[in-house]
Every structure is written in structure tokens, then in C-alpha cells.
């Protein structure tokens, strides 16, 4: 795991994870999409995700948030747009199938071991997510992560999506800690960047070997797997 900074970090007392893309594989919907639309599954999964995130930024930054919609509805809107863009016939039945699949995204394989290792060391754990509470409740249960997360934090409480700083501030409110005492972990480079700007100690999990954002700031750490979060805690048996 790379650490581009030289200053010693503060002691980490909590780890907050992004949910969609970090604990949950947002592209796993491509398997069902491929069955429904042969030859277009991967393209649909990628465009759907891109549009979903674009919509979160649009409703957060426009007209003081007056156009806010829950993440579930933005996810549906992103699916509909992606199908139109790709020229795919999205029937009501297919839409329901794909939306249901989004509720049950595949969990990334190392999740449980990492969360169990953190809990064994007494580290507070949680997710800080764009997902609305109902989505997150189903996703956490479906992924088998119940009991391993102390906090399930949804931005829906403030009606502002990441990367708004008020979204990241929810982590401080939930844990009672300072930002520098919290590690924030995301596979999304934009999320890791904004969390770094906010003041969290950050780990960008670069699963797909991509370049980081070119805005002059690097995350505190860069790794290739969720297990790299354990480098914050050198006594972990999973290092």
C-alpha cells in the first residue's frame, strides 16, 4: 500500500466505508443485464452507474437542493436513461428485475474478513453512503454484513449527496470523533478525493488500476484491495 505523505497520521478509532462500489460490486448487475440484453450487459452496467452518480451531483448542486430525490429513485432514473441511450427496450418487468438486483448487489469477497478483523481490535466500523436507508438495510443484510457495522449512515438525512462536505460531516456526528481520527475507505477516486479534502484519513482502493484524479491532492493511502485498510492497524492478523 502506497503512502504519499510523510507526516505521521493520528490514531484511527473508526473506519467508514463507502458502500456502492466499495463494499458492494455495482457492476455485478451486468450479469443479469447481459441475460436480458445479450451483448449489452457490461455497457449497460457502466452507463447506468455513471448516470446514477451524475444525477446525485445534479440534484445536490442545483437550486439549493430543491430537486433532491432519494438514491433509489435516481438509480431508477439512471437505468431508464442508460437503456434509452443504448437503444434497449426496458419493459416494466425488466426494470423491476434490474432494480431488484440492485438491492442485492454482490458483496466483494474480502469484506467479512476485513470487518471481522477490525471489530476484533475494537475499531468502530460503518458505512457512509449515498444510498437511502431502505436500500442500505436490504443491501447490508443481503451481503451478510449485519452485526459487523456499528453505523449505517445515509446522506438522505440531509438531502445532500457526496461529495458535499455536509455528507462527510455525518461521519463525525455518528461517531463523535474528529475527522483525523476516522479512516474513510472508497474505491471511487472522486469520493476518496473529497473525503481527503474534508479531513479524513483516506484509503483509495484502486481495484481497476486506474489513475487518480488530477486535482493536486492525493489520498493518504492507495491500495488494491479492501484488506489494505488493515495497514492502519499493524497488529491485525490479516496484514
Residues classed as catalytic: 18
Query: What Cα–Cα distance (Å) separates residue 216 from each residue in 2, 69, 93?
Result: 17, 32, 46
Amino acid at each position: 500500500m502506497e503512502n504519499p505523505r510523510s507526516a505521521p497520521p493520528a490514531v484511527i478509532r473508526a473506519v467508514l466505508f463507502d458502500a456502492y462500489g466499495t463494499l458492494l460490486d455495482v457492476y455485478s448487475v451486468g450479469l443479469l443485464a447481459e441475460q436480458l440484453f445479450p451483448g449489452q450487459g457490461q455497457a449497460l452496467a457502466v452507463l447506468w452507474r455513471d448516470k446514477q452518480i451524475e444525477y446525485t451531483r445534479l440534484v445536490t448542486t442545483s437550486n439549493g437542493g430543491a430537486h433532491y430525490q432519494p438514491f433509489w429513485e435516481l438509480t431508477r432514473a439512471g437505468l431508464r436513461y442508460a437503456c434509452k441511450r443504448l437503444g434497449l427496450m426496458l419493459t416494466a418487468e425488466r426494470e423491476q428485475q434490474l432494480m431488484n438486483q440492485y438491492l442485492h448487489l454482490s458483496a466483494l469477497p474480502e469484506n467479512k474478513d476485513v470487518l471481522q478483523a477490525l471489530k476484533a481490535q475494537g475499531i468502530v466500523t460503518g458505512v457512509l453512503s449515498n444510498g437511502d436507508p431502505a436500500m442500505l438495510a436490504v443491501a447490508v443484510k443481503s451481503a451478510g454484513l449485519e452485526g459487523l457495522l456499528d453505523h449505517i449512515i445515509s446522506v438522505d438525512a440531509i438531502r445532500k449527496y457526496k461529495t458535499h462536505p455536509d455528507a462527510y460531516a455525518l461521519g463525525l456526528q455518528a461517531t463523535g470523533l474528529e475527522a483525523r481520527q476516522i479512516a474513510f475507505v472508497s474505491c471511487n477516486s472522486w469520493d476518496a478525493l473529497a473525503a481527503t479534502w474534508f479531513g479524513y484519513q483516506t484509503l483509495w482502493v484502486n481495484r481497476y488500476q486506474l489513475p487518480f484524479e488530477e486535482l493536486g491532492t492525493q489520498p493518504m493511502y492507495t491500495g488494491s484491495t479492501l484488506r489494505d485498510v488493515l495497514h492502519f492497524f499493524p497488529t491485525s492478523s490479516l496484514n
